[in-house]
Structure 1
Amino acid sequence: MSKNRKSRDPFAGREAEKYANPIPSREFILQHLEQVGEPVSHTTLCQQLRLEDEESVEALRRRLNAMSRDGQIISNRRGVFGLAGHMGLIKGKVQGNKDGFGFFIPEDGSGDLFLNGREMEKLFDGDQVLARVSGVDGRGRKEGIVVEILKRRYQQIVGRYYHEQGFGIVVPDSKRIPHEILIPDKAAGHAQDGQFVVAEITEYPSRRRKAIAKIVEVLGDSSKPGLEIDIALRSHDIPHEWPTAVTRSLNQFDEQVQEKHLIGRRDMRDVAFVTIDGEDAKDFDDAVYAERQQRGGWTLFVAIADVSHYVTLGSVLDEEAINRATSVYFPGHVIPMLPEKLSNGLCSLKPGVDRLTIVCEMKISTAGEMTDYCFFEAVIHSHGRMTYTEVADIVQTPATETQEKLRAKMRQRHQSLLPHLDELYSLYRALRSARDNSGAMDFDTTETRIVFGENKKIREIVPVYRTDAHRLIEECMLCANVAAAELMESSKLPALYRVHEGPNPNKLENLREFLSELGLYLPGGDKPEPSDYKKVLQQISNRPDKHLLQTMLIRSLMQAVYQPKNLGHFGLGYPAYAHFTSPIRRYPDLLIHRAIRFLIRNKSSRHLQKQADAGGLSKKQIYPYSASDMQDLGEHCSMAERRADGAGYSVMDWLKCEYMQDKIGDEFNGTVSSVTSFGLFVELNDIYIEGLVHITELSNDYYHFDPVRHCLEGERSRTSYHLGDSVEVKVVRVNLDEKKIDLQMTGSVAAARPAPRRRKPGKKKGFPDRDRSKKHKDKGKDLNNGEGKKKSKSKNQRQGAKAEKSGGKRSGASSATKKPGSSKTSKAGNRNKSRRSGAPAAKRPRR
């Protein structure tokens, strides 16, 4: 660093302490750009700051990119950097809407901008752009105009191909892309009318013309088994094919653990570890064992497959694991993060074979409190592959004579493991009692499992009930994850924490108003604690609408994310929490494993145990990450998790619509699971499927939507429909393409009631709800005590209502009134609707 610049840079000393070859601080760069008064390129900035050597030039490039990512400066495609405020530009992403308009979502978290339909003609959902405020419309909304498109979200589009009137089009599967994509005849390949295809964009849209593309893959028609998964994988950009380099790299691994790999590991093969998983599980990444201490309490051992031994830093396996970041689970199918030779082979803790692990040994008091912990590398030999059902039958107190006989039979079958299983169960009860007393929340939602018949058609949808066996493993995994987070905090290493912040202030206010209508109260003021939420859960525990009220509580909370700044985990009630227990299926867990192995080999602590014959592992070899690297990895892994969830929901919605196609005309009892300005979502009892009663299907009245009370209220009749009402409905339409199930009220409405008082709806200013695809059903999974353990492959697909699932805007911002028959559809809308729907849903070929 030059003396002149060093004297002017107020943070030169700090930079010199951190880097051998320091470069200008962020503060100095901002100060310099302010003085220059105009945007400059990287090359010009290097000249102005007198950076000449290659290392400094590259370091400045990385710093500028990081500042751009963090919103401190703005950059465009021409590589010019400037101050956002001076350029009048904001960096962010476009969010599309099926009705043609969109929103600009700033990276810096400032207010969203409304993008009208004309502005959206040149844009796709997810495009990264520079925008500026263009004005305010008649409704008081800030409008934006896109100045430059920095990066296109889509290079390929998945959709349905149609050929009519002499030209071809693709209607995108994503409803956030309302544009039709033009397909020249020469670019249609072998696609047939009505088939689902993948189209590669050759010309992006402008205000004067539509996008043009060529078909590069034909997925098939709607009768093809597994088509819904093929569509979801491509629509959500989920990597699902192994690169050739990855498959070749697997040749380096033997089928069994080699003796040389046991060096530096504690031999725990004689310890009676067991795995406890679902009946259909194949990848066993955790095993548990507990023993009672002489002075009271227990020693709990949680052994996790040492994936970091096989997936080494910078390898092709590592690069693909980063790319995928998580395994993706569909009903009856999984896209693994790691190849099966590892996920179901060397890294799977199968019984009777040696496996490499990282073990967390924890001391648990009789009161269920973790008093100490220690991590070490080990080799184990699982003594049994148990299922949740088996363990529950063994340890839970039987309620009937039949269950007593089954329990005796199962205990006889697993006699050698009984002392260890009974000790684990005693430990679980202590852990569970301690968590209950701490005020931690426990949302006991119902998960479902799809049972397939022939040709992968749904035979039935059944509830999956959590037993004490599920909870036992969850408590063990929670302990290990907490220990891992505490180790990361004390080590000061940059690491990814699982962060779950408290409730959103606006949603909190709405929640309280809603609860007050039901005579319920959420204490805690502006910053309620998990214990305050638990008090409400206790109040509603015996109510018939408990499930729906839990959904409302979950909606008020933020989503959990991965990030290097630890802000605690609100839902679980922990000041620090990390993911350590599932490295086979989650990349953040693999990162924690690398950090722990680095610490074991290089640091001395009572929380770390290194074997005498263990060698060293340098930071460069295994854990060279900076805080900036962790920020990027956290954002990527959080995105990949949402991406996987979105794909899973899409497949479930498709399968449920397919299941309902031959039930048109059938009547069901149901429960109002969500109320919107455009109608009522009703969950059909016993089959756990949701459909929409559109507002035009209600009785002959004007209905006002009250977003606080979550009800539709008739203007003349004063009849109201509330969340949780029991109703009788008939299935009238099923649209597989748009994943919609339309219902109609029949007979009486058990809980529809005259309103006790008429509240005049007031319009809220602002945008229609832009639904950031952060569906409330996503949020429950971090609160369900399943945080540390992999879920059943049939994830809970019903957590909360589904935004914009069946047409219309989902708007909490408007109290619009509607009357039957009042809605109008344009000719273009009818054309698009018929094009998307094809043949009537009931007559379509079924898969």
Structure 2
Amino acid sequence: MKQIPSKRDVLAFLADNPTQTSKRDIARAFGIKGAARVDLKALLREMEAEGTLTKRRASYREPGKLPPVSVIEVTGSDADGDLLARPLEWAEDTDPPVILLALRASDPALGSGDRLLARLTATPGEAHAYQGRMIRRIGTNPQRILGVFRAASEGGRVMPIDKGSDKQWTIAAGATNGARDGELVEAEQTGPKGRMGLPKARILTRLGDPTSARAVSLIAIHQHGIPDHFPDEVVAQADAAKPASMNKRKDLRDLPLLTIDPADARDRDDAVLVQRDGDGFVIWVAIADVAHYVTSGSALDVEARKRGNSTYFPDRVVPMLPDTLSGDLCSLHEHVDRACLAVEMHIDADGTKISHQFHRGMMRSVASLSYEQAQAARDGSPDAQTAPLVDDVIAPLYDAYDALRRARETRQPLDLDLPERRIELDDDGKVTAVNHKERMDAHRLIEEFMVLANVCAAETLIAKKTPLLFRVHEEPSPEKLDALREVADSAGLTLAKGQVLRTATLNRLLAAAAGTDSAELINIATLRSMTQAYYHPENFGHFGLALRAYAHFTSPIRRYSDLIVHRALITAHGWGKDGLSPWDIEHLDATAKAISDTERRSMTAERDTTDRYLAAFLADRVGTEIGGRIAGIARFGVFVKLDGTGADAMIPMRNLGAEYFHYDAETQTLMGSDSGTVIGLGQRATVRLTEAVPTTGGLLADLIELDGATLPRGPSKGRSKPGKRRVGPAKAKAAKTARKVSRIRKAKR
């Protein structure tokens, strides 16, 4: 075991290495490993208590010294006209040190009050303590706020829409950008607090009516607390990143790897290649090496973990990483060298994996294709970009996919058929159409390759006994299966009881519903019966994919879980010092919970945004009749999934007619007390849209027809109310309702 360094040794190391100030850096410098780290930690705490060291976040430095990169504020100029500055963060009892700015000819003109991120160099013996060189002006990354503008006699204020926030910003008369009272605006800070105690700001964008379509996603971002502004330190760290070198990487640049993504993709984090190998194939999946740039404990890492994932809206993306990384250095653009983690997977002619091996390499994409381009090339209509790639690059991809598809049919993962909606917006953010995204073999090909790569990551880390985060999906609960069974019964289908549940069982139900009027309902009900997937350090399997072990490896640009898996692979293979840190391992449970929560937060925000966009789109159709299908029954009303948009409109009980409807939770039906009309899941319905509220996404409707027949309206004197029900008659009526429902189901069969 290495001897613990003396306090003088520690101080000397920090003085000589101002950028290596974390406990891990100190331990590495003195060769401290294992249990000796406890003694080092005790030494650092003792020095901190004595005042010979100060701790800033996860790093140590001598008291009275600034970190090599700091946020500073220009205070004015000296007698020679040189600009001076002070640190914005200074916790010592002494006066803050003076910083002399050494400006380049290319640097912008600066004045008192300007804030900078600067690289500092100590200047012993000079009148100033440090010399500073500007990295970037903080003004180019100011804090932003979304709020409602309230006009005043001169300028006005921005009132935040964030829940629980009462912070207001003052807007000078010349900084309103023409905003009118009551408009939703986006503003950015321009200065510190003024004489009224409010920070100064200027209005960047007028978004008009807070209830308009253009404001929808911005409101969701703020209501759900999704961070949409990167701190200065994070942006500076991303801006300072440089392309990775070949250092100990496998050279994959001669492999014709390519990316296939949506046509409007801004980032490309996965590339693929297939090589024929006798009757089988070698499938390569290369993923951007994000771990090289986002190291454990860094400002970038802290922010990425806080966000957990990128969040996608119809009109914008809130990314997990700054665009410098996600759109450039970690994006596998064509014809440029990019660092990657790649997995080489050998499969046989039936799609069974024979072996796999991971590499840390350097690749160069030969093409960045859209799904439509790749599919057109496969279908015999290549363009100028894909024509040279058809035979040697594109055709093998599809041949390997055919083999994997055969293996998939044997494995029987859950085969849901739920077309994804695509909301199309014009330049003003108004919904112009709601369509279903086309699903092509190009999409399925990439999905199958990614699933296989994720399986390989999990298997490798299990074999090497390296901590990781699994993607866990547990089987449905008995209660949810009973609910699905009721929906199936209402559609004249059967989901048998008393057998071990497998995805193949559910696939048989889905196959039986395919091509019928109940197909969409059964798919939705099956999805709702599933438990929600989550992240966990322990492996509980993935029910939906019918896999024993599964981990997310393929999207570290937009999912923090994948970044943890990348670090685990780096640690497991001994590829460098940027793998899992002791902190990562110690906090795996907390990280799993945190990113599972942020994933749900994003899903909720995305769903709320979709609902609001659909409500805005349908607002012009209030009063018109729309077809749909009964998709939900509750004590308070009925939900109808509308044709075309897939939006859910609610019909409150009071809108069902003049009679009283008895709710049966077991059969998921409503029965009219006077007419005997039974409303059940899956029935065709025609509704009249009565209300569409974009601010909430709420849709209300009246029920006009049920299975093509006009709904009986009950007694003409008004809605009848249920009398006081005696137990005996109540049971008899329930039995009668059940018999009637049974007859209806048999008739449907």
So what's the TM-score if we normalise by structure 1?
0.61
The residue aligned with 1:288 is 272
Q: Deviations over 1:217-243 (max 9, x none)?
A: 998642666322221111111111111
Distance 1:341 1:182 in 2: 31
Q: Deviations over 1:694-733 (max 9, x none)?
A: 2211122111223333322212211122222222222212
1:452-471 to 2 correspondences below 5 Å: 452-471=425-444
Does residue 723 of structure 2 align to residue 739 of structure 1? no
Instruction: Please tell me whether the aligned partners of residues 561 and 595 of structure 2 are also in contact (alpha carbons under 8 angstroms).
Output: yes
Distance 1:372-1:193 versus aligned 2 partners, 3 A rule:
same
Does residue 502 of structure 2 align to residue 529 of structure 1? yes
Q: Deviations over 1:531-574 (max 9, x none)?
A: 21112122212222111111111211110000101100000000
Post-superposition offset of 1:394: 2.5
1:236-251 to 2 correspondences below 5 Å: 236-251=224-239
The residue aligned with 1:725 is 683
Distance 1:714-1:660 versus aligned 2 partners, 3 A rule:
same
Does residue 285 of structure 2 align to residue 302 of structure 1? yes
The residue aligned with 1:124 is none
Does residue 573 of structure 2 align to residue 600 of structure 1? yes
1:210-289 to 2 correspondences below 5 Å: 221-222=209-210, 226-254=214-242, 257=243, 261-289=245-273
SS in 2 for 1:456: coil
Distance 1:416-1:558 versus aligned 2 partners, 3 A rule:
closer
How many percent of aligned residue pairs carry the same amino acid?
A: 34
Distance 1:586 1:596 in 2: 16
Does residue 602 of structure 2 align to residue 644 of structure 1? yes
SS in 2 for 1:292: strand
Distance 1:182 1:487 in 2: 47
Distance 1:737 1:216 in 2: 29
Instruction: Please tell me whether the aligned partners of residues 721 and 752 of structure 1 are also in contact (alpha carbons under 8 angstroms).
Output: no
1:62-81 to 2 correspondences below 5 Å: none
The residue aligned with 1:476 is 449
Distance 1:544 1:225 in 2: 32
Q: Deviations over 1:28-47 (max 9, x none)?
A: xxxxxxxxxxxxxxxxxxxx
Distance 2:385 2:314 in 1: 34
Distance 2:668 2:162 in 1: 30
Q: Give the alignment partner of residue 321 of structure 2, picking from 338, 341, 344.
A: 338
SS in 2 for 1:262: coil
Instruction: Please tell me whether the aligned partners of residues 536 and 589 of structure 2 are also in contact (alpha carbons under 8 angstroms).
Output: yes
Post-superposition offset of 1:304: 0.5
Distance 2:483 2:317 in 1: 38
Instruction: Please tell me whether the aligned partners of residues 719 and 752 of structure 1 are also in contact (alpha carbons under 8 angstroms).
Output: no
1:557-576 to 2 correspondences below 5 Å: 557-576=530-549
Q: Give the alignment partner of residue 392 of structure 2, picking from 415, 419, 437.
A: 419
Distance 2:418 2:342 in 1: 31
Post-superposition offset of 1:752: 8.5
Post-superposition offset of 1:525: 3.0
Q: Deviations over 1:615-645 (max 9, x none)?
A: x6358x6432465411000001001101111
The residue aligned with 1:539 is 512
Distance 2:218 2:383 in 1: 41
Does residue 297 of structure 2 align to residue 325 of structure 1? no
Distance 1:336-1:182 versus aligned 2 partners, 3 A rule:
closer
Q: Give the alignment partner of residue 556 of structure 1, picking from 529, 534, 540.
A: 529
Post-superposition offset of 1:742: 1.3
Bigger mean CA offset, 223-232 vs 744-753: 744-753
Distance 1:240-1:432 versus aligned 2 partners, 3 A rule:
same
One-letter amino acid of the counterpart of residue 347, structure 2: I
Distance 1:425-1:708 versus aligned 2 partners, 3 A rule:
farther
Distance 2:413 2:698 in 1: 37
SS in 1 for 2:428: helix
SS in 1 for 2:339: strand
Distance 2:676 2:199 in 1: 54
The residue aligned with 1:391 is 374
Q: Deviations over 1:335-388 (max 9, x none)?
A: 111111111101111111111111000011111111111001111111111111
One-letter amino acid of the counterpart of residue 312, structure 2: Y
One-letter amino acid of the counterpart of residue 710, structure 1: Q
Post-superposition offset of 1:526: 6.4
SS in 1 for 2:436: strand
Distance 2:289 2:37 in 1: 36
Instruction: Please tell me whether the aligned partners of residues 481 and 577 of structure 1 are also in contact (alpha carbons under 8 angstroms).
Output: yes
Q: Deviations over 1:782-817 (max 9, x none)?
A: xxxxxxxxxxxxxxxxxxxxxxxxxxxxxxxxx9xx
Distance 2:628 2:212 in 1: 31
Instruction: Please tell me whether the aligned partners of residues 514 and 708 of structure 1 are also in contact (alpha carbons under 8 angstroms).
Output: no
Does residue 296 of structure 2 align to residue 313 of structure 1? yes
Post-superposition offset of 1:524: 6.5
Instruction: Please tell me whether the aligned partners of residues 374 and 386 of structure 2 are also in contact (alpha carbons under 8 angstroms).
Output: no
Distance 1:241 1:421 in 2: 40
Distance 1:528 1:474 in 2: 25
Q: Deviations over 1:33-73 (max 9, x none)?
A: xxxxxxxxxxxxxxxxxx99979xx9xxxxxxxxxxxxxxx
SS in 1 for 2:257: coil
Instruction: Please tell me whether the aligned partners of residues 262 and 370 of structure 2 are also in contact (alpha carbons under 8 angstroms).
Output: yes
SS in 2 for 1:443: coil
Q: Deviations over 1:195-217 (max 9, x none)?
A: 6699xxxxxxxxxxxxxxx9999
1:434-833 to 2 correspondences below 5 Å: 434-523=407-496, 525=498, 527-601=500-574, 617-618=576-577, 622-625=580-583, 628-746=586-704, 749-750=707-708
SS in 1 for 2:620: helix
Higher relative contact order structure (alpha carbons within 8 Å, sequence separation ≥ 6): 1
Instruction: Please tell me whether the aligned partners of residues 158 and 235 of structure 1 are also in contact (alpha carbons under 8 angstroms).
Output: no
One-letter amino acid of the counterpart of residue 464, structure 1: K
Instruction: Please tell me whether the aligned partners of residues 703 and 711 of structure 2 are also in contact (alpha carbons under 8 angstroms).
Output: no
One-letter amino acid of the counterpart of residue 337, structure 1: M
SS in 2 for 1:670: strand
Post-superposition offset of 1:736: 2.6
So what's the TM-score if we normalise by structure 2?
0.68
Does residue 379 of structure 2 align to residue 379 of structure 1? no
Unpaired stretches in structure 2, ≥5 consecutive residues: 1-33, 50-144, 152-158, 172-178, 187-197, 713-721, 726-736, 738-749
Distance 1:265 1:560 in 2: 34
Distance 2:355 2:688 in 1: 58
The residue aligned with 1:26 is none
Does residue 337 of structure 2 align to residue 354 of structure 1? yes
The residue aligned with 2:349 is 366
Q: CA RMSD in A?
A: 3.9
Distance 1:409-1:304 versus aligned 2 partners, 3 A rule:
closer
SS in 2 for 1:512: helix
Distance 1:391-1:695 versus aligned 2 partners, 3 A rule:
same
Q: Deviations over 1:634-689 (max 9, x none)?
A: 00100110111111112212211222222222222222222222222222212332
Instruction: Please tell me whether the aligned partners of residues 490 and 682 of structure 2 are also in contact (alpha carbons under 8 angstroms).
Output: no
The residue aligned with 1:842 is none
Instruction: Please tell me whether the aligned partners of residues 197 and 215 of structure 1 are also in contact (alpha carbons under 8 angstroms).
Output: no
Instruction: Please tell me whether the aligned partners of residues 564 and 580 of structure 2 are also in contact (alpha carbons under 8 angstroms).
Output: no
Distance 1:533-1:220 versus aligned 2 partners, 3 A rule:
same
* Equivalent residues, number: 562
SS in 2 for 1:391: helix
Distance 2:415 2:484 in 1: 18
Instruction: Please tell me whether the aligned partners of residues 704 and 711 of structure 2 are also in contact (alpha carbons under 8 angstroms).
Output: no
Instruction: Please tell me whether the aligned partners of residues 213 and 431 of structure 2 are also in contact (alpha carbons under 8 angstroms).
Output: no
Unpaired stretches in structure 1, ≥5 consecutive residues: 1-17, 24-50, 59-156, 164-169, 175-180, 199-213, 397-406, 602-615, 755-759, 764-814, 816-847
SS in 2 for 1:455: coil
Instruction: Please tell me whether the aligned partners of residues 727 and 751 of structure 1 are also in contact (alpha carbons under 8 angstroms).
Output: no
